[in-house]
Amino acid sequence: MPRKKAKKGRKPIKFKTITIKVTARQKKSLMNYSKSRRTTPNKLIKKAIRPLLQNYAGLEVDNMLPVKVNQLELF
């Protein structure tokens, strides 16, 4: 009887850790808000910043910096 081929799984997603500092009052507010919405603080923060970060993965930083009008261009 021939053996079945194993299914190829998806490529694992790499995660990176980001640390932010909040005041005690901000942390208390974050915990209370997430508890009232029945979610975790991590999911709440990710949902809040997703629209800001969604379309910028492939852009270069040089293209996003504005050029001053009075700047002299030598080259």
Query: What does R_g of the chain's alpha carbons equal in angstroms?
Result: 22
Measured in whole angstroms, the distance separating CA 3 from the mean position of its chain's CA atoms is: 42
Give domain limits for the chain: 20-52
pLDDT per position as a tens digit, 7-64: 788 899 899 999 999 999 999 999 999 999 999 999 999 999 998 888 777 766 666 6
Cα–Cα distance measured from residue 19 to residue 42, given in angstroms and rounded to the nearest whole number:
11
What pTM was estimated for this model as a whole? 0.60
List, in sequence order, every beta strand (DSSP E) within 5-63.
none
